[in-house]
Amino acid sequence: MNISLLTEENLYLFHEGSNFRSYQLLGAHLVEEDGVSGVRFAVWAPNAKEVRVVGDFNVWNGIYHVLQRVPQSGVWELFVPGLTKGDLYKFEIHTYSDSSFLKADPYAFYSQLRPDTASVVYDLSEYAWQDEAWQKAKRENQILEKPVVIYEVHLGSWRRTLENDWMTYRDIANQLVEYVVDMGYTHIELLPVAEHPLDASWGYQATGYYSVTSRYGRPEDFMYLIDLCHQKGIGVILDWVPGHFCKDSHGLRLFDGTCLYESDNPQRSENWEWGTCNFDFGRPEVSSFLISNALFWLDEYHIDGLRVDAVANMLYLNYGKKEGEWSPNQYGEDGNLDAMQLLRRANQVIFAQHPGVLMIAEESTSWPMITWPTDKGGMGFNFKWNMGWMNDMLRYMALDPLSRKWHHSLVTFSLMYAFSENFILPLSHDEVVHLKKSLLDKMPGDYWQKFANLRAFYGYWMSHPGKKLLFMGGEFGQFVEWRDRHSLDWHLLEHDKHRQLQDYVRDLNHLYQTEKALWEIDFKWNGFQWIDCNDASQSVISFIRRGKDPEDFLIIVCNFTPVVREDYRIGVPEAGSYREIFNSDREGYGGSGQQNPANMEAQAIAWHNQPYSLALRIPPLATLYIKPDKEKR
C-alpha cells in the first residue's frame, strides 16, 4: 500500500472532498522516519483542543504522546518510534469544554474483538495475492451481458463449529468456495464485514469502516477467502453501508465533541427508525472518507462489487420520518441533494478506476434512473435490486393456488418496468427474518406442494429478465427463519425433499450459466417476448427469452396451480422439433414426473400471434424450459 504524506496538496484535496485515497493519508501507518521505524498517527478532529494517542505502549496514558495540529488544517499528526504491527491504540480527544474521551481510529485497518474496542496497528501489504488472471479478466468483463447468480452469505451463520462458535475466514473459505462452485453460483455476496459492535446488527451498524471484522480472523485471512474465490472463478460482492453509522461512544458520533461525521441538524443526522446517525453527505471530508472507503475495499481486498445498502434512506430527506421531522430541500422537494451528489461522484470515481465492478443499489422505491449514467442524469450504478418484483412475487406465491387467478397481475406487472433499470432479482436475507417465514414456509399447501411451489417459483425467477440473488439456505429449503446465531440446518439434507431441492437449484444454476438466452439480453425488450400473459383463469404464463444469436431462444411455461394441463397449446415462432430441457416436476427433484415427449414437432397452427404452436402437458405447480432442437431441423 502507498502511504500519502500530509502535504498541503493532499490535505487540500481531503478538505475539498476529493482525496479518494484518504486512508493512505489518515489513520495509523507503519513508516520509517530518519532511519527509525514506528507509526505515524493522523486524525481529523478540527474542533478538538488537544489530541493524544494512547495504547498498550504507553499504559493508556497519552501525556507524552500529544499530536500536533497541521497548520491550516483540522488534521493532527504524530510519529511514535518503536511501535509495530499489533500494537493497540485509541485517540484521546480533549475539547474546549474541558471534557475528554477515547475514540477508535476511523481509518483503522483492524480492531479488537468486541466487547473490546481499541484499534490495532496493522499492515495490509503483506499478503501475496494469486488472482492476477481474475483481475485482468474482470477489467475486460462486460458484466451486463454475463450470467450473474449470487449466493448471499452471512459469514457468522453459514456454518458454525460443533461448539456453535464462528468459523474463521480460512475455514469458511475452504468449505464455502467449493460449495459455491459445485452449486453453480457466479458470485458470493457477503453481509457487511466492516467492524461492528453488535452481532445482531449483522454488520449494518458499523464503527470501523476500514477494519474487517475480527470475529472471523485477521485481514490476511479475509484476503485468503477472496483470493480463493477468484482462483475458482467466483466474484465477491460486499454489502457497503455509507448511509448511517451506530452511536457507540468509541465510534464516529460526536467524534471531536461536535457533529463531525453527522450533520449538526438533528433532522438530517438522526435516524430514529434505526437508532443510528446519518452521515453528513454535504461535508467534503465525509465525502473523502466514504468514497475512499469504497475504493479501499476494491483496492486492498480485491472486492468485485459493492451492494450499497439503504440507498432510499440516503436519497430521501423524509425516509422513515413523520411530518414535522424533516424539512424539504431548497426546491421544496424531498430529495437529499448532497446524497445525490455523493452517490454520483462515488460511482464516477469507482468506474473510472475499476471499470469491471458491480455497483448495486438497494433502492426500495421508484426513484428514477438509478442505473443510468451520470452524464444522462442518472445515479451511475450499474445494477439495482428489483424490490417491486420481489414483493409482488412473494405475495403471489403465498396465496392459495385456487385464488391466484384473481391476482394474476402480481406475476405480470414486473414486465411493465423490467427494462427501466438494470435489475437484480433478490431473494435476500431480509425476506426470511422478523416473522416473515423462510421461503419454503411461505409456500401454501401440504408438504409436497410447498416444495413444488418453491421449485416452480425458482424456475420462473431464473428465467425472468434480470440477474439473480438467493440467500443461503434457500437452495435446500431451510424451513425455519434465518437465525444469525446458529448454523444453517444442514441436517435437513438427510431428508429426500430437501436434498432433491438442492439438486434442483444446482441444476438450475448450471443450466442458467450455459443458456445464453437467459442472460445475454437482460435489460432490453429484444431479450424477452410474451407468448401469453393473459391466462389468469388457469394461472399459466408463457414467454420467450432470446440471446444475441437470433436462433438462440428458450420458451418458458409456468403453471402456478396443482392441476396438470393436458394438450395446452402455446404459440412458437418457428417450425421444427422442440425438446423439454428442464422440468421442475421431475421425480428426481421430488416432483410427480409429468413430462413431455423427447421430441415435439411444432404444428402449422397459428396461436398466440405466432405462426406455429405446440400442444404440451404442463405439470402441476411447475416450470418448463423448452428449446428448439437445431440438430433435427
Residues identified as active-site? 309, 362
Characterise 445 by phi-psi region: left (phi > 0), alpha (psi -120 to 50), beta (else).
left
Amino acid at 459: G
Which grid cell sits at 34? 530518519
Q: Which three cell numbers stand for residue 337?
A: 441533494
* Segments of 202-256 assigned E as strands: 208-212, 235-240, 244-245
Cα separation of the two ends of the chain: 59
Question: Is-contact 420 366, C-beta < 8 A?
Answer: no
Q: Tell me the three cell numbers of residue 355.
A: 471499470
d(CA 393, CA 386): 11
Q: In whole angstroms, what is the distance from residue 67 CA to residue 65 CA?
A: 6
28 and 105 Cβ atoms separated by less than 8 Å = yes
What is the distance of C-alpha 169 from the center of its chain? 19
Distances 552 to 366, 517, 531 between C-alpha atoms, Å: 33, 6, 16
Evaluate whether 77 touches 41 at the Cβ level (below 8 Å): yes
Q: How far apart are CA 215 and CA 227, in angstroms?
A: 19
The closest alpha carbon to 560, from 542, 543, 539, 541, belongs to 539
Distance set, CA 392 to CA 411, 427, 439, 453 (Å)? 7, 12, 14, 15
Answer whether 218's CB lies under 8 Å from 286's CB: no
